[in-house]
Chains A and B, each alone.
Chain A
Amino acid sequence: MMDAVIYPVNDFGPLMKGLVIGGLGIFHVFTAHFAIGGGMLLCYFQWLAMTGRSKSARIFMDGYFRYLVLISFVTGALTGVGMWFTSIQVSPVTIGLMIDEFHWLWAVEWTFFCLEVVAGYAAFKYGHLLTDRARLTLLALYSFAAWMSLFWINGILSFQLTPGAWLESRSIWDAFFNPTFLPSLLYRTIAALVVASLVAMVLINLAPAFSRDQREELVRRAAWLMAPMALMPVLGVWFVAAMPPDSREWIMGGSIAMTLMMNIAVGASAVIGVYALVGLLRNKLYVNGATATVLCLLAFAATAGGEFVREGVRKPYTMRELLYSNSVRPDQVAALREHGLSESDPFPLRNEEELPKVEGKPHPLLRTGGLVFREQCSVCHTLGGVNSLPGLTKGWDSDMKRQNFAKLQKLKPFMPPFAGTPYELESLVQFVEWVDQGRPGTWPEPADPGDHADRLVRIRRWLDEAGTQPALTRTGQSAKGGR
């Protein structure tokens, strides 16, 4: 936002933007995992059928494939495009930087999408007409392409949290094969197998054609795909160990929301894992449709928790060390402290007519405050809904707000440093108080220009004390103050 280009910012009303992209992202990831694991499951079942190990496998495959096509090829594909569009709505600078860096790798992923769609449709539409070996080949190609799309996107997404050696080398391969690439890839591969297996168990129970014996056999076969869950704790620990130390702190109690979501992910995965490994595989229990559905919902909860944490632990960045959540780059903060941004924003404040007037014009402090909120805060905070700024600062007096905003990264290490002039910070304080007081029709001007100047001096001092660096640097150590 702060570079040469400033983009318009939309108001999502009471919804936090992160919730919108997170909600869509969780749904998309779940369907994508289903597509990837589903391909592997189909390969396994085709092998069972063609080697004579299971007669029911062949019958089951066609019904399962139909759901795979209807869910993954339609909703999965379109929510994938939706993720791109939503990313633009939430943070065009972030997605722009990602595309600048990784466009050729994204293009590689696209070539695998093409293979996935063609091989998948061919296997679905013509599989029953082909020789067993040819059908298995098509399914293997489909699975390979689906997994390779995960391979490429996983490198790009994990870079956002752990850019690793790229920070020094600027090599795309250092960026791609970053410290969390491998644990994340392996973890997601197992998660995909689990989702595919659980969906299969639901469908096995829904299919009227099967006898109880056939169902038991198919459930037992599908359960084997969950066996790799035994590795999940190791991979989870590996992933957490590879995370930056400050991000690790957020999930270890540093941020209540992150810790809670992490616990949901771990807890849900543990329940599924124990049920699968002990109940289904060791004790050869049967799972009925209701239980399979509950397990599926738990898998969705685990996906939701995991994706929430993956997005959240990057705070205060969207691209670690490169770009803060509010699209300010760390190296821009010092300049913005001097010159501000609100004056150069080409997009007017939309609700300017609601502001109290001073000499017939919108209240200058409130107008600037509205712009500062829009530019720096609105990506994560609302004015009256989820994570609202007036709500979070309720009970703080004006000076507390000034000091806390000025020393934001010290107050909460997952917040970026304030990137504006003292006047802009004072404007933000006034704007938040005006909103908190129900947007009254009149709002006082600074009564005494001397007082106002004193406030700005105090704010400048606090800003200087906080410095322009984030609370924690790449090594995880506290940054020193100063500019």
Chain B
Amino acid sequence: MTVYVVTLVIHVVFMNYVLAGTGYLAVSYMRTGGRNLGESAKVIKEWTPFLLSGAITAGVAPLLFVQILYKQGYYTANLLLFNRWMAILPVLIIGFYALYLLKSGWLSRRATWVASVVALLPILSVAFTGYSWTENHLLSVRDPAFWGNFYSTRAQIYTEPQLLPRLLVWASGSIPTFALILAWQHWYRGDGQPTQLARLAGSGLFLAATAAAGYYLVTDERTRMAFVTPLAVPYFGAACAGLIAQAVGWGWIYRSARLDLKRLIFPTAGLLLTVVGMTVCRESVRIAALGPVRFEALFSIHAEAFSKSGFLIFLAFFVLNAGLIGYVFWLVRHRTRSPETMDAALVPGE
């Protein structure tokens, strides 16, 4: 469970950037047709393909561990949603290529409405994927009798009252994460507009808090209580404290109109607390939905899985490859050519 939560947090950070970033890009293209993109939109356009790649790669690990933790529910939901669920793959491929198309010279020679339509594709594909995951998740925790009835209807779309509020909490919560990573990117580049970023993050925090309140109102008692179980309550507290820390941190940036290391660390710590806290709370809600009998029945499966050899070798390679990834960053930062040896003709376009 710990490995699942840790890897899911990594995935969530990438995913939040991609969701909100593609939304930001779509709005920017609608307003400008891609002709006079702002500084931030240019950064996002440049980096979102890599971050989508990161989101997909980071998503592989939680996808692996969820199959051990909640195998029956996860597989059954996949099977019940069938083609509708599988559709996320071609849809994501289209969205992914649209991101590359946005960077191409070909698109810059097209009419502005064409560019705007292409800029809509990534956000639509990512939003569809997010919707599908939420749908899959909610169906996976229903009781087996419900699955039998659902199967007989041949339906491939599942909905329930909490689906939309859950999605809204997640979608609006992605905005502060995105704003913070974007702020770090601008800090690294030495540009960016701190007050605009703070306003963006503040709107995200406000929307996320409002969506969370809406979720609280429409959800059932069992789900509400899941946030205050002995397992979840410290994390729920951490998530709330993180929200406050983010608000304070962004307020500081807004007032000073500066993006510096000292000011960025505060909202970063807050964001980390919120994302980790909410990820654990999400599992608590799932466990509550499964009920004690179904959840405790999984204990022996989890124990059996943990007893399999390979954990230490995973840990060793995790550390080794994390170190090598760090080395890659170091190489890029410290091993650039001197200007005299730079061959300007070799700059690759994407």
Contact = CB atoms under 8 A, between A and B. Distances in A.
A63 B53 CA distance: 20
Contacts of A117: 53-54, 57
A231 to B, nearest CB: 29
Contact of A85 (B85, B148, B304, B310): B85
B78 A85 contact: yes
A86 to B, nearest CB: 7
A104 B68 contact: no
Contacts of A100: 68, 304-305, 308
Contacts of A124: 348
Interface stretch (A345-353, A357-365, A388-396, A434-442): A345-353
**Interface residue tally of chain A, by bracket?**
35 or more
Contacts of A65: 348
Contacts of A10: 79, 82
B72 A129 contact: no
A113 B332 contact: no
Contacts of A110: 57, 60-61, 64
Which of A80, A101, A108, A111 neighbours the largest number of chain B CB atoms within 10 Å of its CB? A111
A96 B75 contact: yes
B71 A96 contact: yes
Nearest to A137: B331
A277 interface: no
Contacts of B304: 100
Interface string B42-68: 000000001001101111110111011
Contact of A172 (B78, B148, B308): B308
A5 to B, nearest CB: 5
Interface stretch (B109-117, B157-165, B196-204, B316-324): B316-324
Contacts of A73: 53
Given A75-B93, A111-B318, A346-B148, A118 B337 contact: no
A407 B8 CA distance: 49
Interface in A55-86: 58-59, 62-63, 65-66, 69-70, 73-75, 77-82, 84-86
B277 to A, nearest CB: 24
Contact of A347 (B148, B327, B335): B148
A107 B93 contact: no
B33 to A, nearest CB: 25
Contact of B346 (A59, A92, A122, A172): A59
B89 A108 contact: no
Contacts of B79: 7-10, 88-89, 92
Interface string A98-114: 01111111111011111
Interface string B88-130: 0100110011001000000000000000000000000000000
A131 interface: yes
B331 A122 contact: yes
B89 A82 contact: yes
Contact of B321 (A7, A115, A348): A115
B336 interface: yes
B154 interface: yes
A118 B325 contact: yes
Nearest to B74: A88
B100 to A, nearest CB: 6
B188 interface: no
A67 to B, nearest CB: 11
A284 interface: no
Contacts of B343: 58, 128
A88 B318 CA distance: 27
B350 interface: yes
Nearest to B149: A348
B195 interface: no
A107 B314 contact: yes
B75 A128 contact: no
Contacts of B291: none
Contacts of A171: 309
A134 interface: yes
Given A103-B64, A113-B57, A134 B331 contact: yes
B99 to A, nearest CB: 9
Contacts of A105: 310, 313-314
A164 to B, nearest CB: 16
B93 A78 contact: yes
B231 interface: no
Contact of B348 (A108, A113, A128): A128
A128 B317 CA distance: 29
A452 to B, nearest CB: 29
Interface string B144-177: 1101100110100000000000000000000000
A112 to B, nearest CB: 6
B346 A114 contact: no
Interface in A323-371: 346-348, 350
B80 A104 contact: no
A29 interface: no
B342 interface: yes
B261 interface: no
B347 interface: yes
A386 B67 CA distance: 31
Contact of B67 (A5, A99, A126): A99
B185 interface: no
A104 B72 contact: no
Given A8-B79, A96-B75, A104-B308, A346 B60 contact: no
Contact of B76 (A7, A125, A137): A7
A130 interface: yes
Which of A105, A115, A131, A137 neighbours the largest number of chain B CB atoms within 10 Å of its CB? A115
Nearest to B79: A8
A95 B72 CA distance: 12
B312 to A, nearest CB: 9
A55 to B, nearest CB: 11
B328 interface: yes
Interface in A2-42: 5, 7-10
A326 B61 CA distance: 28
A108 B332 contact: no
A74 B314 contact: no
A425 interface: no
8 contacts: A5-B71, A62-B346, A103-B305, A108-B310, A111-B314, A114-B58, A133-B335, A346-B145
Given A96-B67, A145-B321, A346-B144, 11 more contacts: A58-B346, A74-B96, A103-B65, A104-B309, A104-B310, A105-B310, A107-B310, A113-B57, A114-B321, A115-B324, A117-B53
Q: Which 8 A-B pairs have the closest CB atoms?
A: A104-B310, A134-B335, A62-B348, A92-B75, A111-B321, A172-B309, A115-B321, A104-B314
